[in-house]
Amino acid sequence: MKKEAELFTEAVQKYKSLAIFIPGSPDPDAIASAYAIKLILDHYSIESAIYAERKLSLPQNQLFIDKLKIPVNFGKDIYVKKYEAYIVPDFQNNRVEAIGDSIPCAVHIDHHAKSPDAMPADYALLRTDVGSTSTLVTLILQNLDLELPAEDMSVIATALMFGIQTDTDSYNHINPFDIEALSFLSAFADQDILENINSLPPTPEMLLYYNKGIGNEVVYKDWGLYGVGFVDSKNRDSIALAADMILKNRNHSLVAVFAVIENPKKGEMYLDVSLRSGSSSIDLNRIIKRITPNGGGRQYKGAYQVKLDYFRNTPEKEMLWKVIEATTLDILRRSRDTYYKAGIESLYENIKEKVISLIKK
């Protein structure tokens, strides 16, 4: 990663001010990556600030922010004229609606496959062979050989370790790159803070949506589908955690938990679908991209969203939910059949090609 570190440095040093933007839901991996990048920029005397499109919705993530005193502007607009370029960590698409084409993208770092409509970036590091974006940022940091203050290094290492932990399902799905990153970070991280953050019990909201989902369970072949109704935006991340919990307690190859997320203050309403799988052979990103471009996945985890703002003032919320639930269930059923049919056809084509090549010999 020495070359990657050099390219990263070359890209950011072209600018005097950079906005670090976290699209979508600000999870620990995105926040840790953004903060580590900010402290690296501070070292190079580059002005920067972190902006998150949405506010936090989990007590554990709030504790994470509070304990490490990570400065993030949650849900606040970027004053674009203040910055010369921007950075996007931990998101497939670096195209930011709030920024548009007014300033260039300096850096795009993510551990998902690149979005087809992603913007050009001075430096892009997009790899699917690591468990988290925090892993990539750690390996860059390791190869920069910066002499950061011990306090800053402790905060960065603690944040990045927690980012890796959350995106690898508590280290259940790590690879050699993640192990290398963790080995480097462990010498600096504050283990007491990590233990404190991890000691929080499941939230009442997570348990509520878990129970709601189980109560509305629809089993289609080897998939489990769970609608939980309307959810306030401040609890949206509980949907993803409920999906994690259901996967552990149900014998399905794929679990999908979906809800309508409401944010009255911003006038937003959207369908949010969290997908989970215990099988490394299921391509969640491929499944999601066949449904909508507004989402993505990696091994074991994925999610997509569909805007529903037009319906936010409906007088018939119960009827609206029935329509959304029926439509989502139908789309997911069709996705299940289409996905496996395409897989069988691909396998058949590969076998046919091999047989033809043998005959020609």
Label residue 272 by pLDDT band (50, 70, 90).
very high
| Domain boundaries for CATH 3.10.310.40 within the chain | 204-345
What residue spans in the chain does CATH classification 3.90.1640.10 cover? 2-198
Predicted confidence (pLDDT) per residue in 146-190, tens digit = 888 999 999 999 999 999 999 998 888 889 999 999 999 999 999
pLDDT value of residue 354: 54
> CATH topology for 2-198?
inorganic pyrophosphatase (n-terminal core) (3.90.1640)
pLDDT at 341: 62
- How much of the chain exceeds pLDDT 70, in percent? 94
Mean pLDDT of the 205-209 span: 89
- The pLDDT-based confidence of 12 (bands split at 50, 70, 90) is very high
266-269: long-range contacts, CB 8 A cutoff, minimum separation 24: 266/75, 266/233, 267/309, 267/312, 268/233, 268/307, 268/309, 268/312, 269/307, 269/308, 269/309, 269/311, 269/312
pLDDT for res 165 = 93
Q: What is the pLDDT of residues 33-60, one digit of tens each?
A: 999 999 999 999 999 999 998 888 888 8
What would the mean pLDDT of 258-265 be, rounded to a whole number? 93
- Asked if pLDDT for residue 193 goes beyond 50, the answer is yes
Instruction: Classify residue 217 as exposed, middle or buried by CB count within 10 Å of its CB (0-12, 13-18, 19+).
Output: middle
pLDDT exceeds 70 at position 353: no
pLDDT, tens digit (0-9, with 9 covering 90-100), for 79-128: 889 999 999 999 989 998 888 889 999 999 999 887 888 889 999 999 98
Cβ-based burial of 212 (10 A; exposed 0-12, middle 13-18, buried ≥19) = middle
Which SS3 state, helix, strand or coil, does residue 209 take?
Answer: helix
DSSP state of 96: -
Strands 301-307 and 295-297: antiparallel
Above 90 in pLDDT, residue 347? no
271 versus 297: the higher-pLDDT residue is 271
**Domain 204-345 falls under CATH 3.40.50.620:** no
- Whole-number pLDDT of residue 360: 54
Confidence of residue 345 (pLDDT cuts 50, 70, 90): very low
